[in-house]
Homo-oligomer: A and B are copies of this chain.
Amino acid sequence: MRYIKTFLFLLILFIIPVFLFFIISTSLKSDKANLDNTPTFAIAIHGGAGFMKKESLNDEKYKLYIDKLNQALSIGINILENNGKGLDAVEKVINFLENDSLFNAGKGAVFTHEGKNELDASIMDGKTLNAGAVAGVTKIKNPISAARKVMENSKHVLLSGDGANKFAEKQGLEIVDDSYFFTTEKYNRLQKILKKEQESEKHGTVGCVVLDKFGNLAAGTSTGGMTNKMYGRIGDSPIIGAGTYANNNTCAVSCTGHGEYFIRYAVAHDVSALMEYKNLSLEEATNLVINKKLVTAGGAGGLISVDKNGNISLQFNTTSMFRASYQSNGKRVVKIFKD
């Protein structure tokens, strides 16, 4: 009888750990399955948010924008698939958009009140929280590359005006004549606004956010500013925490819209803070900031974002945002309007 009791006791002692092991290993397996389904890299890009109407865009122009967004996206995907760094993907995608006159950045920059082109850009590395930006530059072909040089080859974060032009030239970046930024369409837009035939267009920016295969997040934004802007106005695009932010603990964000509101609401940093301190998901955080806080304040615009798990959120409270995104597990989006 005593032996039976001892036997039962040992049996129970044995069964409990085996049972626990079974439960734990099953739950680990289901975690692994989830992990296998998460993307190893992800990318999103934007070409500005605004109040474009579907009917104002003919089929040809619609196709042109969609093609350009697809091409830009493919440049980024190609870099990331081949184990490229997130920062390289951000810079090269934005270079492509800067070199195309369709978007308000680089070549396609709009004109200031005085008929000049003043460009802004910023970039941030989510791994180190290093950042670089340029504001009000006039001679740099690719402002996002100047922002990266500021981040990597200077002690500073933000350089402005002629000083920033000089720095970029010293760094060997391509310097162009004022005439490079002349495009008839953007020049005519200024003339119409000056004659009060058209309202000022506040929104127009390009941006890119990336999660690379090494788990690093990066974000970049580049803009030609506002048509008819005066007094050396600087918007949110070159402001780290407003127009651009990346942090490996949370997410990477690039904004587009009425810059003044994005500065006052520290939009890009706020999304990250809501995730880090309030445990909101990327979708919840971007929805709260863009569709509640900014809408209440009257701030029009949007943002693209990717979190450390490769989730993507493309959020805007306007009628349109040129946008594209891709996750390595297969989901590709290229859109202009709400649906």
Contacts and interface: CB of A to CB of B under 8 A. Distances in A.
B260 A241 contact: no
Contact of A245 (B130, B156, B157, B266): B266
Contacts of A232: 159-164
Contacts of A129: 264-265, 297
Interface stretch (A48-56, A65-73, A96-104, A271-279): A271-279
A162, A266, A274, most chain B CB atoms within 10 A: A266
Contacts of A242: 240-241
Nearest to A160: B232
A29 to B, nearest CB: 34
B278 A234 contact: no
Interface in A51-100: none
A131 interface: yes
Copies per complex of this chain: 2
Given A159-B234, A161-B232, A269-B273, 4 more contacts: A156-B233, A163-B230, A266-B266, A273-B274
Contacts of A131: 263-264
A263 B240 contact: yes
A167 interface: yes
Interface string A246-274: 00000000000001100111100110011
Contacts of A159: 231-234
Contacts of A135: 135, 160, 234
B157 A160 contact: no
Interface in A272-303: 273-274, 277-278, 297
A315 B309 CA distance: 35
B233 A163 contact: yes
A136 interface: yes
A188 B178 CA distance: 38
A271 to B, nearest CB: 11
Contacts of A161: 136, 160-161, 232
Contacts of A234: 135, 158-160
A192 interface: no
A162 B138 CA distance: 14
A155 interface: yes
A-B pairs, top 10 by smallest CB distance, nearest first, are: A163-B232, A163-B231, A273-B273, A241-B266, A277-B277, A160-B232, A277-B278, A266-B269, A167-B231, A158-B234
A166 interface: yes
